[in-house]
Structure 1
Amino acid sequence: MTEKPAKLLPPNPTIGVFDSGFGGLTVLRDLLPLIPGARYIYLGDTARLPYGSKSRETIARYAVSSAKFLEEQGADLLCIACNTASALALEDIKQAMPIPVVGVIQPGAEAALATSEASPSTPKSVLVLATTATTQSHAYAQSLNALGLAATEKACPLLVPLVEEGWIDHHVTAEVLRIYLNEAFAEAPNAQTLLLGCTHYPLLQPLIERTLAELNHPMTIIDSAAATAADVAAYFPPNPNGAPATSRFYATDSIEKFQRLGSAFLNQPVSEVHLLDLGG
């Protein structure tokens, strides 16, 4: 992680996890086994998604209001498990928060760098799959370029709705993915590292791996959700004897949909979701 924690936080912390919707639950899924004894508070701002269609100022306002709610609930650290908010509002959130804030973009970029350094003979070129809003921000390219890595960003706007439809192993999704990858390879034929720049995409990783094999284009896959969870865990001391982590879920709309999709993203039942009104 770029900014090492000045000191470790409590071994049984409260950790706030924020996303505009459901995708950030893949970050929470990776966090749960890493910090035993943690109390997680997850907020999905489902009433105001998609963030990608909003202005930077509006995204920052929404994200900061959500961050403040989590801090008021006792969060010792805030994880922005949202690529759009990380790309466009991370500095606003950090300035508004008295607690550490971790986004998803820098951890993913640094994980790509670690892969590159572990394989010196591999071309230092990274292909980033992300949403249109994230690619238009060029946040991943900027982070990767700053680390000395070339970056090609490919917008894959159909993948999020396909994942939310539950079509994670559907022939339609496979064909859409094949088209996106072929288009990306035409622009970046030498890329050997694939960075999943959307928190929905870890659910597609098995399909991505099969598609890469079928295209005879092997790549090292970087899951930015897993990289972010590892960065968050670095803020806390080891606590192997901690009690199992607990989670409390909030959504600003669509409670039933959150429970249904959330269970798939988290890979365990989301039995109770609390409705929260954060205003306009």
Structure 2
Amino acid sequence: MTNTQPIGFIDSGVGGLTVVKEAMKQLPNEHIIYLGDTARCPYGPRPAEQVIAYTWQMTHFLLEKNIKMLVIACNTATAVALEEIKEQLNIPVVGVILPGTRAAVKTTKNRNIGIIGTAGTVKSGSYEKAIKTKVPEATVSSLACPKFVPIVESNQFQSSVAKKIVAETLIPLKFKKLDTLILGCTHYPLLRPIIQNVMGEQVTLIDSGAETIGEVSMLLDYFDIANTTAGQPSAYFYTTGSTVMFDGIAKEWLETIPVHSEHIDL
């Protein structure tokens, strides 16, 4: 393995771009390859076996690109497929759930933690288990937000429709006295200003995807595979859906990075 090999990122759609944005900030020398399965998004409502199969298809695609590390930048896929993929690959594999959990446990003062995610992530109980392992007396409130991913994927995350849907969806969490809320889906940081506004300034939002890059950075050092070669890092983007839609969201979110995604069929 050489240090100049790329890091691979996979997600059910555009959500993992929030993780890539953080990677570009914290790991400016690294080459990146991203694959978003926008044609089959969202993963949240799908049965676990199907999510595992799709995650493997994306993983095999990136392995052919000679990646040195795989980041499963999707909470639903992390919840059901991470352990299996980790066991079978001989490169480091990172998911987004444990880093988000660690940050929440460190942040909370009243041990009252909320989690919002897809139906699949919430049903898996992965965040709750991870939090309870670290802080058994924590109160954990989980809420599935199935309408959030479609808003982001259709590039409406700044619309009045988004504001209305977020406000209505989060009502059950408003009275839980939370001081920390985990954004348990990498699509959700695109809705962050609206979520913060609804929940109030007293609630700290944890971006599980952004927290993941700290772990990626640590593993690059641990395995001595960080790219120390000077030169222009590259970023390649692949999508199973519309490149026009993907590039529109990616340009808006990644700002300075020119994005020209390539369509692939899995």
Could you state the TM-score of these two structures normalised by the residue count of structure 1? Answer: 0.84
Matched, 1:175 2:167: no
DSSP 3-state at the match of 1:41: strand
Within a 5 Å distance, the mapping from 1:192-211 to structure 2 comes to 192-211=179-198
**Matching residue of 1:128:** 115
Match of 1:51 among 40, 43, 54: 43
DSSP 3-state at the match of 1:157: coil
DSSP 3-state at the match of 2:237: strand
**Matching residue of 1:26:** 18
Cα RMSD (Å) of the superposition?
2.2
**Matching residue of 2:56:** 64
Shift of 1:204: 1.6
| Inter-partner Cα distance in structure 2 for 1:175 and 1:220 | 21
| Inter-partner Cα distance in structure 2 for 1:266 and 1:272 | 12
Counterpart residue identity of residue 125, structure 1: N
DSSP 3-state at the match of 1:277: coil
Q: Determine if contact 2:45/2:118 at 8 Å carries over to the other structure.
A: no
| Inter-partner Cα distance in structure 1 for 2:42 and 2:195 | 24
The number of equivalent residue pairs is 260
Within a 5 Å distance, the mapping from 1:1-280 to structure 2 comes to 12-116=4-108, 122-148=109-135, 149-186=138-175, 189-213=176-200, 218-237=202-221, 242-268=230-256, 270-278=258-266
| Inter-partner Cα distance in structure 2 for 1:60 and 1:78 | 15
Sort the Cα spacing of 1:239 and 1:91 in 2 relative to 1 into closer, same or farther, 3 A.
closer
| Inter-partner Cα distance in structure 2 for 1:271 and 1:145 | 40
Encode CA deviations 1:138-163: one digit per residue, 9 max, x unaligned: 22111111121331111112222222
Encode CA deviations 1:121-146: one digit per residue, 9 max, x unaligned: x2112111112222122221111111
Q: Determine if contact 1:68/1:97 at 8 Å carries over to the other structure.
A: no
DSSP 3-state at the match of 1:51: coil
Counterpart residue identity of residue 210, structure 1: N
**Matching residue of 1:119:** none
Shift of 1:244: 4.2
Q: Determine if contact 1:196/1:224 at 8 Å carries over to the other structure.
A: yes
Sort the Cα spacing of 1:271 and 1:181 in 2 relative to 1 into closer, same or farther, 3 A.
closer
Shift of 1:46: 2.5
Q: Structure 1: 5+ residue runs without aligned partners?
A: 1-8, 117-121
Encode CA deviations 1:193-240: one digit per residue, 9 max, x unaligned: 011111111112222222233xxx611111111101121111224778
Q: Determine if contact 1:80/1:104 at 8 Å carries over to the other structure.
A: yes
| Inter-partner Cα distance in structure 1 for 2:198 and 2:12 | 29
| Inter-partner Cα distance in structure 2 for 1:175 and 1:48 | 25
Sort the Cα spacing of 1:172 and 1:51 in 2 relative to 1 into closer, same or farther, 3 A.
closer
| Inter-partner Cα distance in structure 1 for 2:105 and 2:5 | 29
DSSP 3-state at the match of 1:194: strand
Sort the Cα spacing of 1:123 and 1:130 in 2 relative to 1 into closer, same or farther, 3 A.
same
Which moves more between the two structures, 170-179 or 128-137?
170-179
Sort the Cα spacing of 1:235 and 1:243 in 2 relative to 1 into closer, same or farther, 3 A.
farther
Which moves more between the two structures, 217-226 or 260-269?
260-269
Could you state the TM-score of these two structures normalised by the residue count of structure 2? Answer: 0.88
